[in-house]
Amino acid sequence: MVLPQKLFNDLQGIKGFNKPAFIAAHELAAATSVRINPYKDIGLFTANEKVPWCSNGVYLKERPVFTLDPAFHAGAYYVQEASSMFLEHLLNSVLPDKKGLRVLDLCAAPGGKSTLIAGLLDKDSLLISNEVIRARASILEENMERWGYMNTWVTGNDPRDFGRLTGYFDVIVVDAPCSGSGLWRKDARALDEWSEANVQLCSERQQRILADVWPALKEDGILVYATCSYSPQEDEDILDWLASEYVVQSLPVEIKEEWGIVAVNSSKGMAGYRFFPDKVKGEGFFIAALQKKEDADELRPVRFKTAHDKKIQQLAGHLLKDNDLLFIKDKENYCAIRPGHETDIHLLQQAVYLRKTGLKLGSPAAKEWLPDHEVALSIDANTSLPGINADREQALRYLKREDMGIGDLEKGWLVVKYNGLGLGWVKSLGNRMNNYLPKHWRIRMDIDTSFL
Ligand code: SAM
């Protein structure tokens, strides 16, 4: 891998940069790591080496074909490079009490940081997972459905739109679009596309994104800023820019020396954390947290009549574990939300488009309720719903939308489960069944099930 001299020029004198070691690390393959879903923990990878800064992160010895693992499709874990998992340590350090928070993950697709944040929040908190690029927002939505949390909602807005939600969020995470030098080992295209001009463009865009979303952070709220770029123009310089534009307080966190993470200070004394692949078992990454120390306008309270629909609760309530939920119709979807979150719909809708609100329940038909796919994947699904325990081959057949080869079943809607985790629905007619896996979730890969 031939690395650009121009990046080396920018990194000269940066704390922790060791050119020969950096070059040598780029001759090695990136490590594979995954993060277990804490609410779908079925005891996978328990003997594996742990990611030291993330309670649910583990390294895998080699990269398997994840598509062939039904547990992956069930949302039991998320494949994420290890440096990014430092977000858990950062959030736990600056926010030990994470109750009833409103959190925005502004640049969220495909969902690595959002799935991590969701696992740290209590059920009264709300995570708004946003992605401006439409095709990527669909992938984000699918990944968040698979992860299975009712209090993670998905929006597809430009950062500017959030600026109207003044003082609404307790935490905003900006995992900014960047020049991507930290990912060269995983994506050689990012190396071909790298240029000084692009670093400059990214730096300007990062400032624009932050300026747009800044009004939405409340006073004393926390901003987490991250990139996968080594360039100081996208890292320390952005922290300095924030410190010059706004009243902020840097939030340094404790790290262990053996982790190999480099703690840096920007010229204005803002703390940040840089990950070099020759020092950590992970990819290039930069992250920092700071607190807003200036007034933020408050949103005007909204008045509304609850949309809770008891009839929907009667028809669909059996699908879920809890009965203290609200059952509402949001646009064309019937969904369940936590009682404390109805106000949020009204507040958010003033500024942004909600792609996914709460848990989609499905829809009423003549004589039955047609359950949404999302219910089968939800951690809030009623565990005593009728189901089928599929082995790996049957589960993969289901995920390919093929005949699972199981006959003689009770009639009705059944959740297909793998190791106790829901994968989706089938409707059994006794001697045969219809596969209700949404077409766009189908595994397209050819699988020779004879060797499974
Ligand atoms: N947080 C994600 C994760 O952990 O999986 C990765 C996010 S990636 C580094 C940056 C994201 O910003 C991309 O999904 C990209 O589509 C989005 N993006 C691109 N341009 C943007 C803009 N102008 N404003 C906000 N987000 C943008």
Q: 231 with 179: CB under 8 angstroms?
A: yes
Distance 96 CA to ligand 1 centre (A): 27
For ligand 1, pick from 104, 107, 154, 206 the residue to mutate: most ligand atoms within 8 Å of CB. Answer: 107
Distance 189 CA to ligand 1 centre (A): 17
Residue in this structure with the two tokens 């480099």, named with its chain if needed: 262
Q: What's residue 452's pLDDT? A: 62
Task: Collect all residues with Cβ–Cβ distance below 8 Å to 305 and sequence separation of at least 6.
Answer: none
Supply 266's token pair. Answer: 């920007």
Summarize pLDDT for 155-164 with one digit per residue, the tens.
Answer: 999 999 999 9
Distance 161 CA to ligand 1 centre (A): 15
Q: What's residue 98's pLDDT? A: 86
Q: What's residue 204's pLDDT? A: 98
pLDDT over 90 percentage in the chain: 93
Q: What's residue 190's pLDDT? A: 87
Q: How far apart are CA 55 and CA 32, in angstroms?
A: 16
For ligand 1, pick from 132, 143, 212 the residue to mutate: most ligand atoms within 8 Å of CB. Answer: 132
CB atoms within 10 A of CB 40: 22
What is the DSSP code (8-state) at residue 50?
B
Element (H, E) at 115: helix 112-120
Letter for the amino acid at 395? A
Q: What's residue 430's pLDDT? A: 84
Q: What's residue 183's pLDDT? A: 95
Would you call 207 helix, strand, or coil by DSSP?
A: helix
Task: Collect all residues with Cβ–Cβ distance below 8 Å to 232 and sequence separation of at least 6.
Answer: 10, 11, 14
Supply 243's token pair. Answer: 């410190």
DSSP of 378-435: -TTB-TTS-EEE--HHHHHHHHTT------S--SEEEEEEETTEEEEEEEE-SS-EEE
Q: What's residue 166's pLDDT? A: 97
- Indicate whether residue 58 lines ligand 1 (CB < 6 A): no
- The parts of the chain modelled with pLDDT lower than 70 are 449-452
Question: pTM of the entire structure?
Answer: 0.97
Q: How far apart are CA 42 and CA 211, in angstroms?
A: 42
- Indicate whether residue 110 lines ligand 1 (CB < 6 A): yes
Q: 27 with 188: CB under 8 angstroms?
A: no
- Indicate whether residue 108 lines ligand 1 (CB < 6 A): yes
Would you call 153 helix, strand, or coil by DSSP?
A: strand
DSSP of 216-247: GEEEEEEEEEEES---GGGTHHHHHHHHHHS-
Residue in this structure with the two tokens 């200070």, named with its chain if needed: 265
- Indicate whether residue 112 lines ligand 1 (CB < 6 A): yes
Summarize pLDDT for 268-298 with one digit per residue, the tens.
Answer: 999 999 999 999 999 999 999 999 999 999 9
Task: Collect all residues with Cβ–Cβ distance below 8 Å to 206 and sequence separation of at least 6.
Answer: 174, 176, 177, 178, 227, 234, 238
Q: What's residue 449's pLDDT? A: 65
Q: What's residue 409's pLDDT? A: 86
Map out the domains of the chain with their CATH numbers: 5-292 (3.40.50.150), 310-451 (3.10.450.720)
Supply 195's token pair. Answer: 């240029």
Summarize pLDDT for 64-91 with one digit per residue, the tens.
Answer: 999 999 999 999 999 999 999 999 999 9
What is the DSSP code (8-state) at residue 55?
T
